[in-house]
Structure 1
Amino acid sequence: MKNYHLRKSSKKTFLSVMMASALYAGCPQAVFATVNEVQVILQSSTVKGQIVDENGEPIIGATVMLKGTSKGAITDLNGNFTLENASKGILVISYIGYITEEVQTNGQGSVNVVLKEDTKRLDEVVVVGYGTQRKEELSSSVMSVKSSEFVQATKPDVAGLIRGKVAGLAVISPDANPLSTSQVSLRGVATLNLGTFPLVIIDGVQGDLNSVSPNDIAQIDVLKDGSAAAIYGTRGTNGVILITTKSGKTEMKPSIEVNSYISFQKINKKLPMMNAAQYLDKVQQGIPGAMDNGARVDWMDEILQTPFNQTYSINLKGGSANTSYIASFDYTSNEGIVKRSKVDMIYPRINVVHRMFDNKLKIEANLNGYQRKYDIGYSNDVYQSALIFNPTSPVKDENGNWTEIARDMIFNPVALLNETKGENKSTNLRAYSAITLIPVEGLDIKFLISNETYNNFSGYYETKKHKSTTISKKNGYASRSTARNENTMMELTAQYNKQFNNSHNLNALAGYSWNKWNYQSASMDNYDFPSDDYSYNNIGLGNALKEGKANQSSYQGENKLIGFFARVNYNYKGKYFISASMRHEGSSKFGKDHKWGNFPAMSLAWNIKGEQFLNNIQAISTLKLRAGFGITGTEPGSAYISLNSLNLGGYGYYNGQWTNLLRPGGNPNPDLRWEKKEELNIGLDFGFLNDRISGSIDFYNRETKDLIGSYQVPVPPYYSAWITANAGSIRNTGLEVSLNVVPVQNKNFTWDSGINFSTNKNKLLSLSSDKYFSDSYQNVGNTLAPIQQPTHRIEEGEPIGNFYGYKSIDIDEDGHWIIEGADGKPKPISEQQESDKKVLGNGLPKFYLNWNNTIRYKQVDLSVTMRGAFGFQILNMAEMHYAAPVSLLGGDNVMEKAFDNVYGKRPLAYDQSLQYVSYFVQDGDYWKIDNITIGYTPKIGKNKWVKNFRIYGSISNLATITGYSGIDPEVGITGQTPGIDDRYRYPSARTFSLGVNLSF
């Protein structure tokens, strides 16, 4: 909440002199309406004045009405107005987003008014499916975050803006790779084999987190429960994120906003691998596998850098009485802490809105997109090789050639960075236009059409000095690929708003939606080139193509989604609310017997505070009970798996010659349908002491049925042994609590504090159905070579995310693992049986806690965001592979702790092979000081050019409190194998930023 100094001044007039003579014996004094910050001065029966905001900026288009009459005026470009014959009466001054003021003129002739921003009213407006609602009217679980509340730090994508701001929405950034995007999960795991990312809608059009610049966003709303998301049918199971971008306003002087920041990063934590001196000590001890190759190299230093990142954002906006516009341009250059990991992004955008026929017709046109370019020089092999390459091996040998080891997975990391050439370029163009007609008061008819086209090109080349030649004899390798995706959408909606007898409020929506997706791709590769000069630009020169060893492929697919939807919102006297919606939707991905599905929802709310028995209890400012139920769905991942398909495969001898055989491509399934999620949500919104203390509590129970998966079937009658079908179910239950407190609020100092807590418990109810049978469990994941075991087990009656392996309880006197057998008794690891495996932990946090604080003192602001995850385990893959003496046998480097005592006894034996045991499954609980930002906004005063100026600095990923021994406990939470700290993982980083915000 903002605090401002009162604005007062005085001028001597005839009235002030008379009043001063009578009241104060000659002391001149102006007459003030202090409540409304109004100065009133008598001049004539004509009232003139100026309306400004709290920054002294004129408010254009404010309405000034003489109360009880139809007489009024609109403020001009300087915020001025003139009203005839209005010196006696009450002026009502109003403007959207500001508190309405009433001013008694008392015969005064000049009125200057400062309107205050109505923060509470702005916060009440939330975006829901195909429209908006006031927060007090909501009966579903919806969370809204305004741009002023965004996390102020460098972000990989839009999700970073609201990280820690929404209870139940987990936003994870597992590493500092500039090409990475956030992992997002809302209310647990709702599906097994399909995507878990929420649906993203940007200004009414489906997109993703990279579709829009974070600097262009005005508001983000999250539809959390089924009753809110059901209006989106088969796309709403994982929740919906609605993004509203900034726009211009009518009657607005042209203004320019500039936002820019620079930043650099430092690696947060390095894995404690042995340095050259420690490695040489093992050589001198005669440790098997340790060998001195004569050099002293810190391979991690060879690949790391101190990156410099920069972002520049500029937007121009303004408007006349009928037309408003905004145009923006963003450029971002992000380097990673590993060399040759860099991405450049450009975001252009223009939006124009024109109103005609007394605002009965509104036409909106929008064009935006992005261009993305990054170097393909970095790969996971670079980081892993830098970890384990022998620190005594030289970067190059005496002949100037790269030092290599002729063994899989171990490569010279510097050579990998220097002997590759490549780039990836992608462009995304989003265009939409909307026409809104208001034929009668309260009825809005809107037609929207949009098109989004994504084009990608990738080219890659490995030189003749790359390991693909020096080891694999490829003699130069090149590849190229292209992809094009297009999404076309048309929507027609009609929305009617009406109030009856000042008690009944009705909002009705009906609509039709049509979507078509077309996607195509092509790729080729070749090797054995006469020269490196052509790189990937003359790929036909490679001899592998002539020998039939090169690869070429192409693909095209298409699917459609059509929906009819309706919703009715009704409330009585602002106390009793009901909302009901239905979507009837068809998808070309479904089987012929289930092309269409119905997705109903209903929610109720009772504004208890509105009841008479609470009217006199001033301490309670908000009290509302909510309940909702909704059904959403999930589409199959592929467009054609329900259909008959034919493939060419193998050869047959026919009519004297060999010919390609035509084979069935898979089993058709006309019964294939959507996954169906049924969700019940019960919530309570509360506020005390004029909402100085406010928040909400939500409990949900969601069950996903008809899970889509692959099931084994008999051959015959089926063509092949597997079919994609619906079977199985998952249940998620959870509690979410949000609490916002303003502990201190006065003229110069404000402290806003928000804390949210969420917990989730999931359970796999079934993997089978009456028609399609599966075992009661599935083993998933992979520990990778040389262990080669699954990491997780998905089992009926158990939660998703269980680690499954051998439970280690000790080591013997020779340094070999002792595990717990199936009978609960100790046994040597050498006698391991599959039946000995047990649940070792779970990779999904049981609960999340976030704490956000904003402190403002005069012109200085400080924000601190902290967050944590608790009650989960992490499989430390790096330790499992690199913290055992046996890993030294091939001449590779190992972690310092490889020779530490295990269970307080002795190090592992040199001949103890790598094993997946519970010793490497560690508690992952953590608490992060995620971001600290301090800003200064000096007083500009009456400056001709600059309206606002702010400078700030921030530190992201400042500190982590955890008992986990890996580089960062913030690991992946999506998919069937959550909680794995990959040994290939790009390291995390601490980011230091300095930024400036300017407006002209």
Structure 2
Amino acid sequence: MTKQSRMTMIWLLLFVLCCPYALLAQEQRATVRGIVRDEKGLALGYVNVAAKNNATGFTAGTQTDSTGVFRFAQLPAGTNYSFTFSYVGFETQTLSGYTLKPDAAFTLVVKMKTDTKTMDEVVVIGYGSQKRELLTSAIGSVKAKDFVKGAVTDAAQLIRGKVAGLSVITPDGNPTTTSQLSLRGVNTINSGSNPLILIDGIPGNLTMVAPEDIEQIDVLKDGSAAAIYGTRGTNGVILITTKKAVKDLPPTIDINTYVTTQSISRRLKFMTPSQYRELVAAGKPGAQDFGASTNWLNEITQTPLSQVHSVTLRGGSKNTGYIASMEYRDMNGIVQNSNNKTFYPRLAVNHTMFNGMLKIDASILGYQQKYFAGTEDNASLIPNSYRGDVYRNALTYNPTDPVKAADGSWTQHTDKTDYVNPLSLLYETVGLNKNSDFRTYGTITFTPLSGLEFKLLGSHDVYNSLRGYYETKHHISTIRDGKNGYASRGTLQTREDQVDFTSQYNKDLKDHHFTVLGGFSWRKAFSESYYMNNWDFPTDFFSYNNMSTGKALSRGEATEGSNASESRLIGFFARVNYNFREKYLLMASMRREGSTRFGADHKWGSFPAISVGWNIKNEEFLTDSKLLSTLKVRAGYGITGTEPGSSYISLNKINFDSYTYINGEWIQVISPGNNPNPDLRWETKREFNAGIDFGFLNDRVSGSVDIYKRTTRDLIFDYPVPSPPYLFSTITANGATMENSGIEAALSASPIRNNKFQWVSSVNYSHNTNRIVSLSNDAFQLASGYSDQGSTGEPIQSTTHRIQVGQPVGNFYGYQSVGIDDNGHWMIRGSDGNAKPIAQQQPTDKRVIGNGLPRHYLNFNNTISYKKFDLSMTMRGAFGFQILNMAQMFYSAPVMLARGNVMQSTYDNLYGKRPLADDQSLQYVSYYVQKGNYWKIDNVTVGYNLALPYKNFQNMRIYAAVSNLATITGYAGIDPEVSIGGLAPGVDDRNRYPATRTYTFGAFFTF
């Protein structure tokens, strides 16, 4: 579907929906205004308001704005009007018997009562929900009204800085980049560290649903909460709940539209043309003047304009509710040709019959996406619209070089390693990635008796990816490598099916309340892919669309291949929740789960959990306290697991990818592909959590504190083994142990709260300590006690990190620099503690020189509203970590003049002595491992609510926002927010996409 056809559909929908209102324009009308408050007189925002003429059947709907004000413009005059007000946590209220006279206007003042039965039933837990007051586990919950405002690229950015212990990192400004998540530290070595993400109970990812369609996000942080998900719960669970269809709501349309632009938040200072020519004049080795003056970074960047448009239609009758939405996101990056165009359709319908005994929910959601394929991507689901060498070469390409030579060709220097004209990389590449992911799912809920509920959930999800990539005959691959046109194509499809059946029974026996849940879950995942490449094409005309015309494949030089894999996961689970007078609380659960990814001897595992709580505030001696509104202590223990990262790694695989020459012909060789391991099993995490929840002055001040300790055993690792008896030198097996412990604290307050002015402030803090207890067990040993990870790349060719017994994950491991000598060469600390020249370095001289994982996170959020104005500000920081500044390590050394431009700091004095020598080779030393502490003013949004004097419009909000407004840091790189994933975190990659500051202007309409 083209952009033009999508917009045509949107306007057609709006026209059809607005026609009934237009036909009523000739009738005599009246205007109704009002304000909705709670029992304390405070304004309630986003309350659903329905108007109905009981005589004619006419209905209309709207919502209050953030100040509690609503408005119906020009309702048809008539008698017997009623107005219904509904809001989660409050009793639905209906005011009846109103007569609207022609051209009259009147005002309603509504005071809604708290619904004590439902106000806390908003926290989503595994396979259900629970009152916050009765929670015994560590769960963070953020509702839509508290989401981060302004432009966001995925669901995680909505709650960045909102949940203690959850780190949400955006490592660059690439429009296809998704957030990195870390919950309570690193818990695994070989497997992924991302939490399990469930969208309405079904596994998904951060980009599966449009951010504007999300109603609430809940984070299951500790083992007692996550154990119900068994082998998928070790890294925590994030539950995303989409907006639901609402019954008894007149047709209402919400439109959200905004535009954004960006600028580079910080530029690295490289030599300008004039400064570079000074180096040429000084006779610096490698400096050459080609006569031009070019700002290469300006050449590859642009001032991007992005836009997001979302339309939502919702409404319903007594028994049926519906919600339909369409969202179009056209995101453009600050580097030319980096983009991301996504279309999100969604439809959800629910229907209740047999007096509420049977309820059916059905939904379709997904997305279509396309973006420029700036580089080849032949394996993964990860979007790749940008190649890192574009930015890197824009920094390092000689500023005296012209963009093009006299003959119109790109200037190139094929005699230099890893040195390419960045514009040629952009414009001599043709590529497009097209992805789609659509999910159909539904639930049937049957309630035959009061308190007894049966629910069946089914879903079918299909992801398709089609990739094409081509390098023209003017690309460096032809000029330098002789490819004569290079192309590749790839496809990937994944299909996931899931069936869950649960039964739940609620029973009250006087002061005792029980909730018993039992269920079964079945999930099947299948993927298949195909990839091929070819080169030496007769023309650029076909790009990647006529692969057979390339000659390399016929010569046996190119490659092609396909793959398919399948896995199944089956689980049986049960949970019991008990409370006595809502004072003494208990939750216990058990999951028995089997996976085809485990070895033949360990297909099944058990994952129990138990947690308890004491609502001290509900004790008789505190029930009358006006100062204390909440006081609860809780503790829990749970066991979760981690599946292996892929299928079949426990099995004996056969290779067919090699040939041998026998009797004058090539014969395909069949050979074993790996060491099988029938004992491969799940990683097991055991976690203890203790916490306290408190609130004062009717929760005007509230908060929580949690402490935890988690031990993960049987970590999956690739171990060295003797050959023979093994066929290969490594085997994937369980053997390592890791510990994490920490503390989390959250505090929220409303210092000012009255009818006109409200101020809500919250702060949260988290601290985590990680330690590797062991890398071996009785069967498999890592004799050295360590494993080196990460890489600097050439020409240094050194690992950057070491995971070692007794040490935390993330340690930088290298030479500790202590100065430079009189000749400008590095001095390092030797293994004996004494200084020595870098030329005398030995592997034993290396030591821990920092750690790339922050030990402390602090977030500070504020929301202020005054009359119709609102202001929100989010600030966040990370402390106690270091960053390897790769750009400085490579490009502040004089020796790199031979490869292009260098930084302006290259000839600054080091250690107060002198600059590095011109012949000092690149070295990985601690001088480049720098403090990464930072404090960001992350997002500032200003909004204004107003009612438009038109019959069809009920409410409008305009807003402006700035993201990544300011960063306070001593770090010398472009941005201290760097990748925290994997076993080599904290590296500021020299190929990194620039960090950006985003400016947003938008409007939200309801009619």
Per the TM superposition, whether the score is higher than 0.5 is yes
Give the conservation status (yes or no) of the 8 Å contact 1:530–1:541. yes
Query: Are residue 419 (structure 1) and residue 422 (structure 2) matched?
Result: no
Query: Are residue 788 (structure 1) and residue 780 (structure 2) matched?
Result: no
1:875 aligned to 870, 876, 884, which one? Answer: 884
Query: In the aligned structure 1, how far is the partner of 2:42 from the partner of 2:875?
Result: 38
CA, structure 1 residues 280+222, in 2 after alignment: closer, same or farther (shift >3 Å)? Answer: same
Letter in 2 for 1:698: D
User: In the TM superposition, what is the alpha-carbon distance from 1:652 to its structure 2 partner?
Assistant: 5.2
CA, structure 1 residues 787+77, in 2 after alignment: closer, same or farther (shift >3 Å)? Answer: farther
Secondary structure in 2 aligned to 1:386?
Answer: helix
Name the structure 2 match of 1:79.
Answer: 82
2:260 aligned to 258, 263, 266, which one? Answer: 263
Give the conservation status (yes or no) of the 8 Å contact 2:213–2:242. yes
Query: In the aligned structure 2, how far is the partner of 1:34 from the partner of 1:784?
Result: 64
Query: Are residue 819 (structure 1) and residue 828 (structure 2) matched?
Result: yes
Name the structure 2 match of 1:617.
Answer: 625
CA, structure 1 residues 100+298, in 2 after alignment: closer, same or farther (shift >3 Å)? Answer: closer
CA, structure 1 residues 118+400, in 2 after alignment: closer, same or farther (shift >3 Å)? Answer: farther
Q: What are structure 1's unaligned runs of at least 5 residues?
A: 9-31, 38-49, 59-75, 82-92, 106-110
Name the structure 1 match of 2:377.
Answer: none
Name the structure 2 match of 1:806.
Answer: 815
1:410 aligned to 411, 419, 422, which one? Answer: 419
Name the structure 1 match of 2:957.
Answer: 950
Give the conservation status (yes or no) of the 8 Å contact 2:71–2:955. no
Name the structure 2 match of 1:474.
Answer: 483
Query: Are residue 542 (structure 1) and residue 550 (structure 2) matched?
Result: yes
Query: In the aligned structure 2, how far is the partner of 1:789 from the partner of 1:575?
Result: 59
Name the structure 2 match of 1:962.
Answer: 969
Name the structure 1 match of 2:602.
Answer: 594
Letter in 1 for 2:202: V
CA, structure 1 residues 103+294, in 2 after alignment: closer, same or farther (shift >3 Å)? Answer: closer
Query: In the aligned structure 2, how far is the partner of 1:814 from the partner of 1:118?
Result: 77
Query: In the aligned structure 2, how far is the partner of 1:154 from the partner of 1:141?
Result: 29
Query: In the aligned structure 1, how far is the partner of 2:496 from the partner of 2:392?
Result: 38
CA, structure 1 residues 523+36, in 2 after alignment: closer, same or farther (shift >3 Å)? Answer: closer
Give the conservation status (yes or no) of the 8 Å contact 2:89–2:115. yes
Name the structure 2 match of 1:523.
Answer: 531
Give the conservation status (yes or no) of the 8 Å contact 1:493–1:511. yes
Query: Are residue 238 (structure 1) and residue 235 (structure 2) matched?
Result: yes
Name the structure 2 match of 1:134.
Answer: 131
User: In the TM superposition, what is the alpha-carbon distance from 1:653 to its structure 2 partner?
Assistant: 7.0
Name the structure 2 match of 1:116.
Answer: 112
1:285 aligned to 267, 282, 286, which one? Answer: 282
1:464 aligned to 473, 480, 483, which one? Answer: 473
Secondary structure in 2 aligned to 1:840?
Answer: strand
Letter in 1 for 2:1000: S
| Cα deviation 1:903-933 (Å, max 9, x = unaligned) | 1111000010000001001000000000100
| Cα deviation 1:557-599 (Å, max 9, x = unaligned) | 0000000011010111010110000000000000111000000
Give the conservation status (yes or no) of the 8 Å contact 2:863–2:872. yes
Name the structure 2 match of 1:311.
Answer: 308
CA, structure 1 residues 114+511, in 2 after alignment: closer, same or farther (shift >3 Å)? Answer: same
Give the conservation status (yes or no) of the 8 Å contact 2:183–2:195. yes
Query: Are residue 431 (structure 1) and residue 434 (structure 2) matched?
Result: no
CA, structure 1 residues 302+77, in 2 after alignment: closer, same or farther (shift >3 Å)? Answer: farther
Give the conservation status (yes or no) of the 8 Å contact 2:938–2:965. yes
Name the structure 2 match of 1:996.
Answer: 1003
User: In the TM superposition, what is the alpha-carbon distance from 1:57 to its structure 2 partner?
Assistant: 6.8
Query: In the aligned structure 2, how far is the partner of 1:336 from the partner of 1:231?
Result: 41
| Cα deviation 1:105-155 (Å, max 9, x = unaligned) | 9xxxxx987243759965651000000111001000011100000001211
Letter in 2 for 1:600: P
Query: In the aligned structure 2, how far is the partner of 1:352 from the partner of 1:745?
Result: 38
Query: In the aligned structure 1, how far is the partner of 2:43 from the partner of 2:746?
Result: 34
User: In the TM superposition, what is the alpha-carbon distance from 1:178 to its structure 2 partner?
Assistant: 0.4
Query: In the aligned structure 1, how far is the partner of 2:120 from the partner of 2:606?
Result: 33
Name the structure 2 match of 1:556.
Answer: 564
1:632 aligned to 636, 640, 655, which one? Answer: 640
Query: In the aligned structure 2, how far is the partner of 1:297 from the partner of 1:449?
Result: 59
| Cα deviation 1:233-272 (Å, max 9, x = unaligned) | 0000000000010112111101000001101000111111
Give the conservation status (yes or no) of the 8 Å contact 2:120–2:130. no
Deviation >6 Å, runs of 4+: 4-8, 32-37, 50-53, 100-105, 653-657
Secondary structure in 1 aligned to 2:621?
Answer: helix
Moved more, 348-357 or 640-649: 640-649
Q: What are structure 2's unaligned runs of at least 5 residues?
A: 1-32, 45-59, 73-78, 98-106, 375-385
User: In the TM superposition, what is the alpha-carbon distance from 1:940 to its structure 2 partner?
Assistant: 5.1
User: In the TM superposition, what is the alpha-carbon distance from 1:718 to its structure 2 partner?
Assistant: 1.7
1:98 aligned to 90, 100, 112, which one? Answer: 90
Query: In the aligned structure 2, how far is the partner of 1:77 from the partner of 1:277?
Result: 81
User: In the TM superposition, what is the alpha-carbon distance from 1:326 to its structure 2 partner?
Assistant: 0.3
Letter in 2 for 1:886: V
Letter in 2 for 1:961: I
Query: In the aligned structure 1, how far is the partner of 2:284 from the partner of 2:958?
Result: 57
Give the conservation status (yes or no) of the 8 Å contact 1:77–1:253. no
Query: Are residue 577 (structure 1) and residue 585 (structure 2) matched?
Result: yes
Scaled by the length of structure 2, the TM-score of the pair is 0.89
Query: In the aligned structure 2, how far is the partner of 1:231 from the partner of 1:33?
Result: 40
CA, structure 1 residues 650+255, in 2 after alignment: closer, same or farther (shift >3 Å)? Answer: closer
| Cα deviation 1:636-692 (Å, max 9, x = unaligned) | 012101112111254457799653222111111111000000000000000001101
CA, structure 1 residues 500+104, in 2 after alignment: closer, same or farther (shift >3 Å)? Answer: farther
Give the conservation status (yes or no) of the 8 Å contact 1:376–1:423. yes
Give the conservation status (yes or no) of the 8 Å contact 1:247–1:317. no
Give the conservation status (yes or no) of the 8 Å contact 1:363–1:436. yes
Name the structure 2 match of 1:830.
Answer: 839
Query: In the aligned structure 2, how far is the partner of 1:581 from the partner of 1:33?
Result: 40
Give the conservation status (yes or no) of the 8 Å contact 2:80–2:96. no
1:926 aligned to 920, 934, 952, which one? Answer: 934
| Cα deviation 1:415-472 (Å, max 9, x = unaligned) | 1111111100001010002111111111111111101000000101111111111111
Give the conservation status (yes or no) of the 8 Å contact 2:34–2:109. no
Secondary structure in 2 aligned to 1:555?
Answer: strand
Query: In the aligned structure 2, how far is the partner of 1:492 from the partner of 1:7?
Result: 41
Scaled by the length of structure 1, the TM-score of the pair is 0.90
Name the structure 2 match of 1:274.
Answer: 271
Query: In the aligned structure 2, how far is the partner of 1:497 from the partner of 1:246?
Result: 26
Name the structure 2 match of 1:171.
Answer: 168
Letter in 2 for 1:963: G
2:743 aligned to 735, 744, 747, which one? Answer: 735
Query: In the aligned structure 2, how far is the partner of 1:187 from the partner of 1:286?
Result: 54
Letter in 1 for 2:984: T
User: In the TM superposition, what is the alpha-carbon distance from 1:498 to its structure 2 partner?
Assistant: 1.8
Query: Are residue 982 (structure 1) and residue 989 (structure 2) matched?
Result: yes
CA, structure 1 residues 535+766, in 2 after alignment: closer, same or farther (shift >3 Å)? Answer: same
User: In the TM superposition, what is the alpha-carbon distance from 1:714 to its structure 2 partner?
Assistant: 1.8
Letter in 1 for 2:140: M
CA, structure 1 residues 987+160, in 2 after alignment: closer, same or farther (shift >3 Å)? Answer: same
Give the conservation status (yes or no) of the 8 Å contact 1:749–1:858. yes
Give the conservation status (yes or no) of the 8 Å contact 1:258–1:314. yes
Name the structure 1 match of 2:946.
Answer: 938
Letter in 1 for 2:82: G
User: In the TM superposition, what is the alpha-carbon distance from 1:715 to its structure 2 partner?
Assistant: 1.9
Name the structure 1 match of 2:702.
Answer: 694
Secondary structure in 1 aligned to 2:449?
Answer: coil
Name the structure 1 match of 2:854.
Answer: 845
Query: In the aligned structure 1, how far is the partner of 2:493 from the partner of 2:113?
Result: 46
1:181 aligned to 174, 178, 181, which one? Answer: 178
User: In the TM superposition, what is the alpha-carbon distance from 1:719 to its structure 2 partner?
Assistant: 2.0
Query: In the aligned structure 1, how far is the partner of 2:113 from the partner of 2:738?
Result: 46
Secondary structure in 2 aligned to 1:464?
Answer: coil
| Cα deviation 1:260-308 (Å, max 9, x = unaligned) | 1101000111111111111001001111111101111111110010000
User: In the TM superposition, what is the alpha-carbon distance from 1:80 to its structure 2 partner?
Assistant: 5.4
Following superposition of structure 1 onto structure 2, how do residues 449-460 of structure 1 map, counting pairs within 5 Å?
A: 449-460=458-469
1:490 aligned to 483, 499, 504, which one? Answer: 499
Name the structure 1 match of 2:352.
Answer: 355
Query: In the aligned structure 1, how far is the partner of 2:266 from the partner of 2:86?
Result: 55
Letter in 1 for 2:646: S
User: In the TM superposition, what is the alpha-carbon distance from 1:55 to its structure 2 partner?
Assistant: 3.8
